[in-house]
Amino acid sequence: MLKTLQTEHLSADIMLRNNIKLVGKGEKTIILAHGFGCNQNMWRFMLPFLEKTHKILLFDYVGSGNSDFSAYEKNRYQQLEGYALDIIEICDTLELKDAIFVGHSVSSTIGWIVAKQRPELFSKLVAVCPSPCFLNIDEEYQGGFERQDLENLIQLMDKDYIGWGNYLAPIVMGNDLSPIGPGMSENDALVHELLSSFCSTDVTYSKPFAQATFFSDYRSLLPSISHPCLILQSSNDTLVAKSVGEYTQKKLKNAKLEVIEGNGHCLHMTHPQHVLNAMDTFLQENE
């Protein structure tokens, strides 16, 4: 009896800790994992379609969105393995196995970490604008950024957090930051939404996540992943060049690369129907 109560208490804690929401219907579960500076609400454009055929698990990493910030552990969340542990604990709490994992940006890498540690938790992986390493390493691999440029960007978080957000949000969304007003386009609104998401999180939590995201190198992890994987690459993404998508596809054992014509790093927001179509084909091919 005591063990049952402890288990129920732990389950309730994790549900609250990661702001878990379960929606939809279907035999198979899709886990939607948001990227750095984002939250589960960023999946809302795809959700109405996915929940018709699948159970959908939405969550926020600790330190992001509406997670329980009191559960934040400094040492744990200084590396991506700490965020991967969030997913492992969520899956164990909900007794999930063979889930379809969909990760945006750094969450793709986090998903690969989970897939290596606990391969039974996932059946397939979908990576939206992934990068195993954002750094320029050598002639073979150009992740897009020199280390000094990224260090300057991280330092800007301490000096001018709003300025950091104003600089990064348009790059990520692939659209200029226009003034708020009645003439705003949908893409303009998305840039402001991302800026708000960036700047609403205390730098205490966002800075370690940024460092873990931009300075890590998980290229050596890729060959150990055997799950079927779909890589969705934007044709014009300042953060992740097409060459990174091609490199990732080659290094994974069982991966398909699809380039979607579009700007920016958030295809699930700017081109949700294209992402849905590609996912549907991939899932059917890998039944």
Whether residue 16 is contained in a domain is answered as yes
Tell whether 110 is covered by a domain. yes
Range(s) of the domain holding residue 268: 2-133+217-285
* Residue 191 pLDDT: 67
Q: Is residue 111 part of a domain?
A: yes
Catalytic annotation present for 224: no
pLDDT at position 62: 97
Residue 143 domain flag = no
Q: Is 92 considered catalytic here?
A: no
Q: Is residue 151 part of a domain?
A: no
Q: Which of 92, 83, 137, 134 is nearest to 112 (CA)?
A: 83
Q: Examine residue 188 and state whether it is found in any structural domain, yes or no.
A: no
Task: Check if 237 is active-site.
Answer: yes
Select which of 34, 227, 265, 271 is catalytic.
265
Q: Which of 82, 51, 48, 63 is nearest to 216 (CA)?
A: 82
Note whether residue 14 is domain-resident.
yes
183 part of a folded domain = no
* pLDDT at 179 > cutoff 60: no
Q: pTM surpassing 0.85?
A: yes
| Residues above pLDDT 70, as percent of the chain | 88
Indicate the number of domains in the chain: 1
Q: What separation, in Å, do the N-terminal and C-terminal C-alpha atoms of the chain show?
A: 40
Q: What is the CATH number of the domain that holds 241?
A: 3.40.50.1820
Q: Which of 244, 47, 259, 10 is nearest to 130 (CA)?
A: 244
pLDDT value for 10: 55
Looking at the chain, how many residues does it have? 287
